[in-house]
Amino acid sequence: MMKTAILAMALALALPMTAARAEAPADVRAEARDIFEKTIAFKTSEGLGQVPAMVEYLSGKFIAAGFPSDDIHVVPVGDTAALVVRYRGTGKGGKPILLMAHMDVVTAKPEDWERDPFKLIEENGFFYGRGTLDIKSEVALFTETFLRLKREKFVPTRDLVIVFTGDEESTMESTKVLAAQHRDLIDAEFALNGDGGGGQLDNATGRPTAFRVQGAEKAYASYELTVRNPGGHSSMPRPDNAIYELADALKKVQAHEFPVQWNDWTIGGFREAAAATPGPTGAAMERFAANPGDAAAAAVIAGDPANVGRLRTTCVATLLRGGHADNALPQSATATVNCRIFPGTTPQEVGATLRNVVGDRVEVQLLGQPHSSAPSPLRKDVMDAVAKAVHANYPGVRLVPDMSPGATDGSIFRAAGIPTYGVSSLFWKDSEDFSHGLNERVPVASFYAGLDHWYVMLKTLAGR
């Protein structure tokens, strides 16, 4: 897309829109809260085997609402599972739209929390519990939106397909199985991912400031760097020490900068963020958006840890082990280096770069089978629908194109050829983001506003 087209879209998205708030009916809100409470109670952390029980509960809700059993598919994957639910449409509006979220959560130790992490607790304007923000809230909202539309006898112009996966926080195997072995269940024109994007509230005032639409994600890959040595007695030290050589190699990795890269999502994001970012960083964002070849601007932006990942591939040492006895020279030393890879670069290319950086004395091994995916196209119909849904609750809030420095199930669907857009319904303060941490929470008002968000979005994209 040409820069002028991106600018025109950014300006259009920035224009205030007026919309009367159509709050979901009381019975819809109550049912959504009940589903939220029930799903939080399932301990769906890795290794506990409770995802299938949550699938059974959710399947029961859809069956009770009148969805045919032939349109409800449970896909077992090891001790977890995925759930796919199809809401039949006329087909006149095109291929299906996917709605994505994951049922699993990061481990939570009850003894470390102030409240029971597996009990939905409403307090001080927040819902507390593991998964409230990441992302059983969206599981409950998707489910309730389907139930609400079914009761209203809504017939979409295309099939709508919910995809609830079971291991996004670990291996993403259930998503990979769906993409590779069950394409008929999830084939779609595009996907809307509840685990990406979302709204931002001002840390001081709580006012909504922006809504990020995630259209690209970086690939996740880890590498083991290993130095081997014959070892020997610690009373006879030698220059060729495995730990020292590994330390030297890691300092080279630390000093290496991958080249600056960009795409429509990062350029659009920097352009929109520039106006709201004070000081030299905001000015650098504006210059970089106008001229991505501006190395000086990129250097300023890279000084901010929150933004360096939007400029280039990054690699950082995360784990370290070495030696076998305190009175022996080390026979080996190994470090794990985790890389977040910019779209357009493969994990194999990053591995080759690391080998060149650290030299022949260090083994570099790619762990697992990481994948990479291209950015999704900036679709006007999707962006217009997102704007309408966001402005139903937050009139005039700016939409900001975004590339996530992290990775979700959406990256696998993009790699499988399904454009995916992170459009979480939730708004929260950066200072109150406790996903993966202690006392995870989501604003109560934000949860209920999510009912309007998805209802408006689906009616816009699949209504008559």
- Are 289 and 213 in a shared domain? no
- Are 225 and 209 in a shared domain? no
**pLDDT of res. 44:** 97
**pLDDT of res. 407:** 83
- For strands 232-233 and 363-366, give the pairing: unpaired
**pLDDT of res. 15:** 36
**pLDDT of res. 119:** 97
**pLDDT of res. 21:** 56
Which parts of the chain have pLDDT scores under 70?
A: 1-22
- Are 300 and 277 in a shared domain? yes
- Among candidate residues 225, 233, 248, 238, the one with its CA nearest the CA of residue 332: 225
Domain count, the chain: 2
Range of the structural domain that residue 64 is part of? 3-217+373-462
- Among candidate residues 140, 170, 112, the one with its CA nearest the CA of residue 32: 140
Instruction: Provide the 8-state DSSP code for 124.
Output: T
E-assigned strand segments in 234-352: 314-322, 328-329, 332-341
- Are 163 and 108 in a shared domain? yes
**pLDDT of res. 20:** 41
- For strands 232-233 and 328-329, give the pairing: antiparallel
> For 273-294, what is each residue's pLDDT tens digit?
898 788 999 999 999 999 999 9
- Among candidate residues 69, 59, 234, the one with its CA nearest the CA of residue 143: 59
- Are 196 and 265 in a shared domain? no
List of residues 6+ apart from 315 with CB closer than 8 A: 223, 253, 256, 258, 337, 338, 339, 340, 350, 354
**pLDDT of res. 276:** 78
- Are 200 and 272 in a shared domain? no
- Among candidate residues 95, 84, 88, 86, the one with its CA nearest the CA of residue 189: 95
Q: Under DSSP, is residue 155 helix (H, G, I), strand (E, B) or coil?
A: coil
Half-sphere exposure for 102 (CA within 13 Å, toward CB): 25
Task: Tell which phi-psi region holds residue 147, choosing left (phi > 0), alpha (psi between -120 and 50) or beta.
Answer: alpha
CATH classification of the domain holding 432? 3.40.630.10
- Are 167 and 252 in a shared domain? no
- Are 278 and 302 in a shared domain? yes
Q: What is the pTM of this model?
A: 0.88
**Matching residue, tokens 């991958």:** 258
- Are 211 and 223 in a shared domain? no
Cα dist from 84 to 8, 54, 148, whole Å: 37, 13, 18
